[in-house]
Amino acid sequence: MANITKLASGLRITDADWTEIRTTTIAAHETPALFVSVAEIADDSEEHEDFETSDGVAISAYSSPLALWEMKTGQFQLAGNGKRGLWSRIKWGVIEAVCEERSIETRRSEGVYLHPELDFMSSRADREASEDGGASWVQVVSYNVAGTMTDTWRNAVGEWVVPEYVDIEAHHHMAVTGAARCFIVALFGGVSTRFFVVERDADLIEEVVGAVCDFWARVEDNVRPSDSGQRDAQVISRLNSRIKPETRVVDMRADREFIALIEKKDALNKKANGIKKEIDELKAQISTRMDGVGSAIISDTKQYVWITVADKEQPASIKKGYTYLGPRKISEKAAGPQIHDLIEA
């Protein structure tokens, strides 16, 4: 059985392995699943583990209170090969670089912390950071944000903010450690980074802890959770009310020209997405027909071939090469030994 130790800082730490922690506690990245409205828009990172049903059907345990309850009660099984994703190998360097720019000292977390009173509420952050020379430490959590999800990190007037699910995770960490703030480091589209500070909100802490307690009681009593509830609505309302932009806000509801522009853009986006999907399907069919074929003559002057782009060396890395299908003119320079014979035949 795992041991719980109280450190000189007053924090409680467990020596349980991650398998036991996963089944006997609620971790910060799991808490957003307790709020339906947040879980639906949360960005699943590669740090989240994959699960499957007894029939081998893939499932996300972080998509709803019910799905998380099924995982915690042993109705899902861990899937995947157990290998770490790319982000889990590079995030340490990203965190160090962002914090170093701000003269913030960092260190590895001492381990997995437990709430002062609740053994089923755990916290395992990526790093700990100090702005006062080590007198106090707060948790640092990192996120790898896909380019398509960047807009979820902006509020209604374009200001950079952490999404609701990140806010909830940060307050989970603060609830466990008692810290006054939590640092967030995010890498967007693999090219740019941003640093956020989430300040402690005592009321939101109470809501998060209450949700965890309510949920865990259902796990222990083997009672299925409802899809949502009043607490869910209260948390969403609290999170939304915290966004107070200082920039100008205008009412454009009566501006039909402006509304028409947005509607036209949305319609074109929808049409473009449909066209892209159709193009991808056609590419797949063409690739299947070209399996094992080096060149396909499509006219007296054109061929369809596999085109290879070689690896490209960059200052700090190598950009991997790739192969794609495309048309090429039939010429002496770009013709296989059989092409002219086939054309003439």
Which of 75, 53, 71, 74 has the alpha carbon at shortest distance from 61? 71
Instruction: Read off the pLDDT of residues 148-203 as tens digits, 9 standing for 90 and up.
Output: 888 889 887 788 999 889 999 999 999 999 999 999 999 998 889 999 999 999 99
Instruction: Read off the pLDDT of residues 299-313 as tens digits, 9 standing for 90 and up.
Output: 888 888 888 877 776
Q: Where are the beta strands (DSSP E) in the chain?
A: 4-6, 12-14, 51-52, 58-59, 77-78, 105-107, 112-114, 122-123, 127-130, 138-145, 181-188, 192-199, 295-297, 302-309, 312-313, 318-319, 322-329
Q: Which H helix or E strand runs over 150?
A: none
**Helices and strands (H, E) in the chain, number of each type:** 9, 17
Half-sphere exposure (CA, 13 Å, Cβ side) for 246?
1
Please tell me the CATH code under which domain 4-241 is placed: 3.90.320.10
Q: Is the pLDDT of residue 64 over 80?
A: no
Q: Which residue has the higher pLDDT, 78 or 3?
A: 3
Question: What are the residue ranges spanned by the domains of the chain?
Answer: 4-241, 254-288, 290-345
Instruction: Read off the pLDDT of residues 198-246 as tens digits, 9 standing for 90 and up.
Output: 999 999 999 999 999 999 999 999 888 765 555 556 565 656 665 555 5
**For residues 83 and 288, what is the distance between their CA atoms, to the nearest angstrom?**
30
Instruction: Read off the pLDDT of residues 244-274 as tens digits, 9 standing for 90 and up.
Output: 555 567 788 889 998 999 899 889 988 988 8
